Structure 1
């Protein structure tokens, strides 16, 4: 439960660092968004966050500095388009893959394909050693 204290302390620490160094990048960081972002989107992977950061950096930093008038006119349209595309793709994926046959679509075809199940046949998965040392010692006889 130490993270509650960290979550309360980091914005205060950030405030004092910003007072000491007013031109630092910390003024652009919203700590509640950083801390709750991962909790609000449970299935997100680092791939999701990297792509979100790249798109956000390009359109909110690079494009804004290079062509402010274009950014001011089309930024919200781009945001609405990306959000709408995500919602529509989620609906299409649900009705094409999950809804038919109670989510068992492809259970005997693509889901049981060799590439999706090969990891279950490895020594790591079965918690077995690849080679055994036998009766001999492994490594030096004494460790210093």
Structure 2
């Protein structure tokens, strides 16, 4: 079972997973079986990476039309997306990843905040989908 599969399974059972101060929190923890705890320990770094990226995507406001380009923020987003590829063990040379990365690159070169954010979101979605295979 991959980290993404585990996350989906636990969420389907009604458990809420989050990262607080860099640590994984599961609520209600009393609903975890010993096997769940073992699976979580086995996938802890990947779970923390997935949840951190999800939270940052959720918290980030949508850029307004005509918003200024923020090179630092763009590089941080690309770094986070790349780290997710590694955390989920996805082949970065996969054609789907390559296509998604190309869209990110094009939006980055164009300095288009909206297109860039959309491309990053598509990239992260692709990584999550491939991480479940």
TM-score range, shorter chain: under 0.3
Structure with the larger RCO, 1 or 2 (CA within 8 Å, 6+ apart): 2
User: TM-score, structure 1 length as denominator?
Assistant: 0.25
Q: Which has the higher strand share?
A: 2
Q: Which of the two has higher C-alpha Rg? A: 1
